[in-house]
Amino acid sequence: MLDAAGVLRLDPQTDQRRLAQAVQRYRPRLLLLDPLVRLHRLDENSASEISGLLGYLRHLQRWGNVAVVLVHHASKKLRAQPGQGLRGSSDLHAFGDSNA
């Protein structure tokens, strides 16, 4: 287990390279990012901002052959559809292969 709390942000390219190097070096089967909100400084409501980060994670997932689990919290408003309850852009819901 590698704990990068407080030392890794997923939006700067330098940290993206560091994470990719760690994936290449350690070859994990699972990458758990918890909570997502603490790992970036982007506007979660902006699809254009958050989609770049999610695109990077999808690339890392395929390139590193690693499952990526994002822990992201629901908004305080109750929604009819489970995916609509996530905070921020709907791209966060669309990213997931499974949402719980």
Helix (H) or strand (E) holding 68: strand 67-70
Q: Cβ contacts of residue 39 below 8 Å, gap of 6+?
A: 8, 9, 10, 33
pLDDT in tens, 29-86: 999 999 999 999 999 999 999 999 999 999 999 999 999 999 887 766 665 665 566 7
Supply the pLDDT for residue 79.
59
d(CA 81, CA 23): 34
SS3 67: strand
SS3 9: coil
∠ CA 35-38-39, nearest 5°, is 95
Supply the pLDDT for residue 46.
94
